[in-house]
Structure 1
Amino acid sequence: MSGKRHFLVTGRDAGPQAPTLPPPRWLQAFPDGRVCTWATLRAGVRPGDTVWVPVTEPDWEAHVRAFVRERADAPVVVLSPVPQDAEGLRALDAGARGYVHLLAVPAVLREVEQVVRHGGLWAGPELVQRLLAATRTLLQRQPAAARELVDLSQLSEREAQVARAVAAGKSNREIAAQLCISERTVKAHLGQVFAKLGVRDRVQLALRLAEAVPAARSPAEPGPEVSP
């Protein structure tokens, strides 16, 4: 069988109880997705498959950490009914490549899958801000000569504006509103930014720009500066 598969872990062993059904939006995003236990997952997962783990499952954090140690070739995305920064940090620390709302729309879930399958990291804007804050603290402790600055000169003016907005933690919708362009155009610019700067996702871009933004200025962006 070819193609990448999706597994939603329930953590429950098969028994007389009614089977656990995937969230409707997750099933819309991945019609061929499979519900499994941790035991059946280990027996059936293949490199490149994506594993989705709700935080409502018992000991999800320990299970994710153990699974990632065994199978780093199958990215894990943690699903939360009430996303919180602290919980998201725990998920990423356990080795998950993504942290997203349990009821996210199918289009977002598919986008998350593409990002993590290509080695990227997916997290919400608030969590990005916390990661950036921690990174800035570490960068300030490094000698200036040891810091790797990002060359923004290879970006167009609009691409640089989009890149800085991402570094500020803004969503595509917020960037589109600030720059008076469509979300589709934002995605197109962001794809060019990723390719030119050699980064895989929004988080990596934001971390790379954390030190570079103050040092490399481009023409002023339209609209007020807003911190999400």
Structure 2
Amino acid sequence: MSTSHFLSNAQTQPPVLPTDRWQQAFPLGQWGDWSKISQYSQAGDVVWISTAYPLWLDVIAQLLQAEPKRLVVALSAAPDQTEGLRAINAGARGYCHLYAVPELLQEVARVVQQGGLWVGPELVDRIVAATRDLLARSSAADQIPAPDLSALSAREAEVAHAVAAGKSNREVAEQLFISERTVKAHLGAVFEKLGVRDRLQLALRLSGRAATRAAPKPL
């Protein structure tokens, strides 16, 4: 069973320590300095690091160099797209707010443990836009098969396109006049049917060419 670890540093001013919300989210989680975390975190464990930690990008690289199967999540007190891209480029599997509620932190851990990538909708949109640009410039773009959405119901396809456009579950619910719980259920079905792990993979799957919508299943 994987464990969550928070990389702390009591020597900095102010000290880098896990928030109360992080401790609520992971009551069995561990925290400590570099020597402790690098020694006791294992493959499959989630290591959480604040962007306030000194040289945090270098530390992410060092953690993954020592154990490539560690799952690193960067936490920021003031998230922004540029910093998020730097975290993902360094090898982090997630990037979210340092003061996120415990339930959200637990969801982030579940996603990255399942092989997914957790980033905010704005960052997803930026990555997808960059991918579209690369595909447009590539001579092989026309050879990319159109994603087949025929296995999805009409409502599942609507949810898939809305999420791929970078909308949150709440925004999708408001757009389609359904509950967030229903959006989450449809999204789970979309992930399973299309064989994707997270919102970013879904967005990238739908970004290459227009999706095939032939004969969608009824609701």
The TM-score normalised by the length of structure 1 is: 0.88
Partners of 1:157 and 1:218 within 8 A in 2:
no
Structure 2 counterparts to residues 1-228 of structure 1, below 5 A: 3-12=1-10, 21-142=17-138, 143-212=140-209, 214-216=210-212
CA RMSD of aligned residues (A): 2.1
Give 1:215 deviation, angstroms. 4.4
- Does structure 1 retain, via aligned residues, the 8 Å contact 2:8–2:32? yes
Q: CA deviation at 1:217?
A: 5.2
CA shift digits 1:48-96 (9 cap, x unpaired): 1110000011000011012112212120000000000000000000000
Contact 1:160 1:218 in 2 (8 A): no
**Pairwise CA distance, 1:38:** 1.8
Supply the AA of the counterpart residue of 1:57.
Y
Alignment size in residue pairs: 214
**How many angstroms apart in 2 are the aligned matches of 1:114 and 1:103?**
18
Q: Is the 8 A contact 1:172 1:183 kept in 2?
A: yes
CA distance in 1 between partners of 2:20 and 2:121 (Å) = 25
Can you give the 5+ residue segments of structure 2 that lack an aligned partner in the other structure?
none
Task: Give the superposition deviation at 1:160.
Answer: 0.4
Which 4+ residue blocks in structure 1 deviate beyond 4 angstroms? none
In structure 2, C-alpha distance between the alignment counterparts of 1:148 and 1:106, rounded to whole Å: 40
Q: Which stretch of the first structure deviates more once superposed, 121-130 or 30-39? A: 30-39
For normalisation by structure 2, the TM-score amounts to 0.91
SS in 1 for 2:5: strand
Deviations 1:83-142 (A, max 9, x none): 000000000000000000001111111111011011110000110111011100111123
Q: Distance in 2 between matches of 1:20 and 1:127?
A: 25
Displacement of 1:148? 3.4
- Segment of structure 1 superposing worse, 19-28 or 113-122: 19-28
> Using a 3 Å threshold, how does the CA distance of structure 1 residues 45 and 164 change in structure 2: closer, same or farther?
same
In the alignment, the residues of structure 1 paired with residue 84 and residue 157 of structure 2 have an alpha-carbon distance, to the nearest angstrom, of 28
1:145, distance to aligned residue in structure 2 (A): 4.2
Query: For the Cα contact (< 8 Å) 1:99–1:123, is it kept in 2?
Result: yes
Q: Report the Cα offset of residue 20 of structure 1.
A: 6.0
Secondary structure class of the residue paired with 1:153:
coil
Query: Is the Cα contact below 8 Å between 1:20 and 1:35 reproduced in 2?
Result: no
One-letter code aligned to 1:206: A
Which residue in the other structure is 1:226 paired with? none
Structure 1: segments with no counterpart, 5+ residues: 220-228
SS of the residue aligned with 2:208? helix
